[in-house]
Structure formats: structure tokens, C-alpha cells
A and B are shown apart, each in its own frame.
Chain A
Amino acid sequence: MAIVFQPTEGLTKKPLHYCPGCNHGIIHRIIAETLVEMGLLDDAIGVASVGCTYNSYEYFSCDFVQAAHGRAPAVATGIKRTHKDKVVFTYQGDGDLASIGTAEIIHAAARGEKICAFFVNNAVYGMTSGQMAPTTLLGQVTTTSPFGRDASYQGYPINVSELISNLTGAVYVERVCVTDYKNIMNAKKAIRKAFECQLSGKGFAFVEFLSTCPTNWGKEPVEAMDWLKEKMIPQYPLGCFKGADVDFTKADENEEVKS
């Protein structure tokens, strides 16, 4: 009988601890699969952050460094500068990347660090139990915006991909989601392209994954997927913000002329 589905070598056999319906499992898997498919698993060094994925190093089977809250892009900078021939990526949530780690992500992008940042945006703090995140939608109820996020009181959500795409050092920026097969395949393409971008040495690559948090949203998994599509995507439109037309697997013409 033909094997149609099996565990990826890019993940360990340790069972994931994420809540039912959470998208982290899917995102972990497609990153790990991509590393394997691109033959990068032995050369990859991941950086885990603080949040629900603090121990993602137990799931990925490549080398992994756990970073302080928000500091993953700085830690990744130290690693990548030390091992320029390795593939370095961060895996960060919205509180980590868009709140406490704003300086680190902006400046890693501005410096054009040859790393990939994978940003999982579920519009809420997960691990600390459902507080308002920088990406929480207007009107969204959280444990620290119990009456719904009020722009006049708590300000506005941050569209991180749009922000990052304004920086010259960021050469590939895309927002994806993993709500269904088509979107998962699309997200996987974005992951591949981010790694290709890093291998090309052209600069910083950023992929934002919209993700569900059924537990802290107080929704059933399927309901949460619908809420993501109906509420999150209008605020955070999917698509490539930078580098859509670039084929990072090809040396650019100028370089060819030089060589």
C-alpha cells in the first residue's frame, strides 16, 4: 500500500502540547517539512521565543536556541553572524514580536539580517491566558480589554507585515494563513521562499501567519477558523508585500555581470 502521509523527519516524535484547534501544530509541521524538502535540516538553527511556543525546540529536530521574550531576532543575529553558512530562523508570537520585541524585529529587518522571522499572529497573548496583544482587533474582548478593544483607550492594532515591508533591509514579506489545504500550501510556498531569500543572501525575510487561538478566543476550533477568516483577514489582508516578483533562486543580473 502506498504511504500517503507520515511524520516528517523535521519534527521529533514528542507529542505537541498545543490546545485543540491551535494552528501552531500546522505551522511547525510545514516549516519542518520545508527544511527537509530543501535539504536544510542539518544546517538549520531555530530560535524559540517566549509564549506558547517557548519549548518548540523540543518539537523541531534541528538545533534550537531558546531566547528571552522578544529578543529572538537579536539572538538570531548573533547566531547567523557566527555561522554565515547556516540557515537561521526565529519563531515568534505577536506579544513577543510586536510588543516587547518591537525594537529587535524592526532593527533586524533594517539591518537586512540574513535570517527568516516566522511570525504567528493570533491577536491575543496565549500562554499568559488571553491578554490583549498589539494585534488584538478593535472591539475584541480579551482578559485585559474586557469591554472590547477601544481605539480611544487602547489604540489600534499593528499591521506588522506592512510595517516591516517599508524597510529596505526586508526583501521578502508575506502574510499567509493555514485555515485550509489551499492556504496551507500557499503558506508552505511562502516558507520556502523565505528560506530561498536567506540562501540568496539578499536580506531579511518575514512571513506572518494568521493563526487561531480557540482557547483564549473562547471558540470551538472550527468556529475559530471562521472568525479568523471573517474578522482577522479584513484587518490583516493576506498577500505578499515585498519580493513577490523576485525569484530568489536565481542570481540577479547585476551579479551575473560582475562574475
Chain B
Amino acid sequence: MAQKRVLMKGNEVIAEAALRAGCRNYFGYPITPQTEVMHYMAKKMVQIGGNFVQAESEVSAINMVYGAAAAGARVLTSSSSPGISLKQEGISYIAGAELPAVVVNIVRAGPGLGGIQPAQGDYFQATKGGGHGDYRNIVIAPASVQELYELTVEAFNLADKYRMLVMILGDGTLGQMMEPVAFRDVEPIEVYDKPWACTGRGDRKEHNTITSIYIDPDTLEVKNRELQDKYALVTANEVRYEAFGLEDAEIVITAFSTCSRISKNVIRQAAELGIKVGMIRPITLWPFPSQIISETAAKSNVKAFLDVELNAGQMVEDVRLAVNGQKPVYFHGRMGGNLPTQKEILDKIIEIHNGGNN
């Protein structure tokens, strides 16, 4: 029997998913529009005997995450854009020390204090680094409250599997909205041994250390190569995307999260006008689904791509790299916290269909 669907807020579902994934440590600092994650944790985490600490800053919160992860725990922090900027120091250290952790960014409009309405302007920060050094985070972009649940559980599994930070990249829409969600009876929680964790030496002969400092250049280069090998493995194994309508699409929309939802309805409207539009929706923003985009660009039925984002054009750079000049790539973006309307996107499709250029 299908699981019963309950109406819940995206932010609360993230928290519930983390608890179901066995996360018993949450450290955070209030910021709109993600605070309901904190509120939910403040109550539920304490009720089930886990740890909830409202830190003095995002900087502290991410370092508490670092500590708990080093101690072998499943751990979560959540924030929104300006707060995520503050966490970048810790995120770099977590990458350097190879610790598993899950960080949620419910993105709001920037730069600076910006606004509090939905945006996707943190795509570069999330996928290209954000902090210092050569490192990667797995970046997951859910598109519905149901996916927030499933992919948050998955984020914890991936974090432990690869000893990496996994970022859930949402936006104000996804965090604030309520939608039906069906929880599974039993979560697919994968349990990983963590013999490297600092748990107290106990019966171990050697003491464990967690560090990201390697003063000797040769040692650090080896460490970096190991990291890159791991990232290559993640790229080979963990690319996730949703694609449909590619077999006969004239135009292919690339969009993630909120923009993909809006675009899906446009595809229906375009079909009524006789324009065949397909979609590639990256679910992992890193590793990026370059291959399917590249293969799609080579198809003779595909005439052009339209990338839709809540920013000035960030993921479109990765789309263009993957398309690699095979077909034109058009862009439509909204900023400041505004969402594109279906009509805007449809107009853009009609313009491209009629041979327009941007």
C-alpha cells in the first residue's frame, strides 16, 4: 500500500528526514528562510535524546559540525546564503580532513544581505568551491518536498560513503512551501564503519587524528591527488538527473529545483502549440550530468537548449561546457527573489522556435 501523504513544510521535512537518517546532531544559527529546520530540531532532537545547539555564529556552527563529524557522528547544519558564506571556512576544513557532514543551503537572493526571497545565485559557490583549496562537495538539488525527504536521507548515506560534505541546495520556495510527503516505513540507512573517528583511543593501539594540515609539499600533493581520485570516483558513480522528452525534442530545457518545476508546466503548454520541448534536470549539481547533456546536444532532433535559473546565469556555464558548441544555448533568468512565470519561459521557447537569438 502506498504510504500516506501528509502536508508538511519543506524545511521541516529536511529536519524529519535527517532524524530518520539517524542524524542525532544539529548545530545551527537562525537565518531566514531556513529557520524552521532549526525550530523542528530544537524540539524533536531534544525529545529523542540527540544534540541541538544554537551556536553563537554560523562559523561556530560549522565547526561544531566538524567536531561531531570527527567524532564519528551523523551531523547536520542548515543555513541560508549569507550564513553559508560564513560556513565556507569550515566547509573547506571538512573537505581537507575528509569528514562526512550534511549542510543545507536554503538559498535567498544576494549578493550581500540581499533579500530573503528564493534564488539560485549560490550555484557557483556550491559547485565550484566557495572555500579555499582544491575540493569538491556533492551538491544535491531537490525539486519537491518529497525529494527533500528522500534526497536528505540519501545525502547522509553519500556523506558517510565517501567521507565528504554533501550540500542540499534548495531555495526559499522549497523551504517555505508545504507539499504532501510520504515517509517510508524503513529508511534505506546505510551504516558505515568509521574506524578513523576520534572516539577516544580505547583499545586501539594507535591514536586517531583528524587534520587537514600537511606542511610538507610532497605529502600535501599526495593528499590532494587522493582527494581528486575520490572526486573522480564520485563523478563516475553518483551523477543523478531526470530527463524526459529528449527523443523528439526540438528544444531542451535545463533547469534545477524550483525552475525545473515551473518549466515542466511550460513543456505541456508548448506541446499544445506543437513545439516539442524536453528537459534535463540535474539532481546532482556536482557531479554535474555533463554526459547526458553532451549526448543530447549531438542528437539531430535537438536544435537548441534553454537554461532557466534564478540567477544571472550560473549553471548555464556548465551546460555550455557540456554542449561544447554543438548547439546554441539560450538563457532565461530572474533575480532578486523573483520567480519566472510560465508565460515568460513559454515566450522564450516560442522565440527560439521561431529562430530567434538571444
Do A and B interact with each other, yes or no? yes
- Residues of A at the B interface (CB closer than 8 Å) are 12, 41-45, 47-48, 54-55, 57-58, 60-68, 71, 74-83, 86-87, 103-104, 106-107, 111
- Tell which of A54, A68, A86 has the most Cβ of chain B within 10 Å: A68
Q: Are A66 and B25 also in contact (CB < 8 A) when A41-B201, A78-B64, A79-B198 are?
A: no
Contacts of A76 in B (CB 8 A): 67
Q: Which residues of A contact B68 (CB under 8 A)?
A: 78-79, 81-82
Q: Mark B174-218, 1 if CB is under 8 A from A, else 0.
A: 000000000000000000000000111111000111111101000
- Enumerate chain A residues within 8 angstroms of B59, measured Cβ to Cβ: 71, 74, 103-104
* C-alpha gap A62/B127 in the complex (Å): 36
Contact, CB under 8 Å: B200 / A61: no
**Smallest distance from the beta carbon of B324 to chain A beta carbons, Å?**
39
Inter-chain contacts of B53 with A (CB < 8 A): 77, 81, 111
A185 and B346 alpha carbons, distance in the complex (Å)? 79
Min CB distance, B208 to chain A, in Å?
5
Residues of A within 8 A of B335 (CB): none
Q: Quick check: B65 and A42 within 8 Å, CB to CB? A: no
Closest-by-CB residue of B relative to A87 is B200
With a cutoff of 8 Å between Cβ atoms, the chain B residues found around residue A55 in the complex are 211, 213, 215
Q: Any chain A CB within 8 A of the CB of B318?
A: no
Which residues between 52 and 80 of chain B lie within 8 Å of chain A, taking CB atoms? 53, 55-57, 59-61, 63-73, 75
Nearest residue, chain A, Cβ from B90: A68
CB atoms of A64 and B60 under 8 A apart: no
| Chain B residues whose C-beta falls within 8 Å of the C-beta of A63 in the assembled complex | 198-201, 207-209
B68 closest partner in A (C-beta) = A78
With A55-B213, A78-B68, A103-B56 already in contact, the answer to whether A66 and B200 are too (CB < 8 A) is no
Q: Which residues of B contact A42 (CB under 8 A)?
A: 200-203
CB contact between A45 and one of B89, B200, B215 (< 8 Å): that residue: B200
Contact A43 B200 (CB under 8 A): yes
A103–B208 Cα distance when bound, in Å, is 28
Q: Is the CB–CB distance between B60 and A74 below 8 Å?
A: yes
B93 at the interface (CB under 8 A from A): yes
Q: B202: which A residues are within 8 A, CB to CB? A: 42-43
Cβ-based interface call for B156 (8 A):
no
Least Cβ–Cβ distance between A3 and chain B, in angstroms: 24
5 further A-B pairs in the complex, CB-CB below 8 A; given A63-B200, A66-B211? A64-B210, A65-B198, A75-B66, A78-B75, A103-B60
Do A64 and B198 contact each other (CB < 8 Å), given the known contacts A74-B60, A107-B60?
A: yes
Chain B hits for A80, CB < 8 A: 67
A residues within 8 A CB of B207? Answer: 12, 57, 60-64
Is B286 close to A, CB under 8 A? no
A residues less than 8 Å from B89 (CB atoms)? 68
A-B interface, 3 closest residue pairs, ranked by CB to CB distance from nearest: A78-B67, A74-B63, A78-B68
> B56, B70, B90: which contacts A79 (Cβ < 8 A)?
B70
- Closest chain-B Cβ to A54's Cβ sits at a distance in Å of 6
B203 cross-chain contacts in A, Cβ below 8 A = 42
Interface presence of B97 (CB below 8 A): yes
- Complex contacts, A111 vs chain B, CB 8 Å: 53
Residues on the A chain within 8 Å of B211, using CB: 48, 55, 57, 65-66
Some 30 contacts from A to B, beta carbons below 8 A apart, are A42-B200, A54-B213, A55-B213, A58-B209, A62-B207, A63-B207, A64-B207, A64-B208, A64-B209, A64-B210, A65-B71, A66-B209, A67-B63, A67-B67, A68-B66, A68-B89, A68-B93, A71-B90, A74-B55, A75-B63, A77-B53, A78-B68, A78-B75, A79-B67, A79-B71, A80-B67, A81-B25, A87-B200, A103-B57, A103-B59
| Bound-complex Cα distance A203 to B59 (A) | 23
Inter-chain CA distance A12–B208, complex, in Å, is: 13
Q: In the assembled complex, which residues on chain B have CB atoms less than 8 Å from the CB atom of A41?
A: 201
A233 → chain B closest CB, angstroms: 32
Which of A43, A44, A62, A77 contacts B67, CB < 8 Å? A77
A80 to B199, CA, bound (A): 10
Known A-B contacts A57-B211, A63-B207, A74-B64; the reply to A82 vs B71 at CB < 8 A is yes
Nearest A residue to B75 by beta-carbon distance?
Answer: A78
Complex: how many Å from CA A90 to CA B178? 43
Q: A80 to nearest B CB, angstroms?
A: 8
A44/B200 contact (C-beta < 8 A), A66-B210, A66-B212, A103-B57 known: yes
Minimum distance in angstroms from B345 CB to a CB of chain A: 43
Instruction: Please give me the residue from chain A that is nearest to B66 by CB atom.
Output: A75
Interface centre among A44, A58, A74 (most CB of B within 10 A): A74
Q: Within the complex, what minimum Cβ distance (angstroms) separates B52 from chain A?
A: 9
Contact of A78 (CB < 8 Å), options: B69, B200, B201: B69
B56 touches A62 (CB 8 A): no
B141 CB to nearest A CB, Å: 27
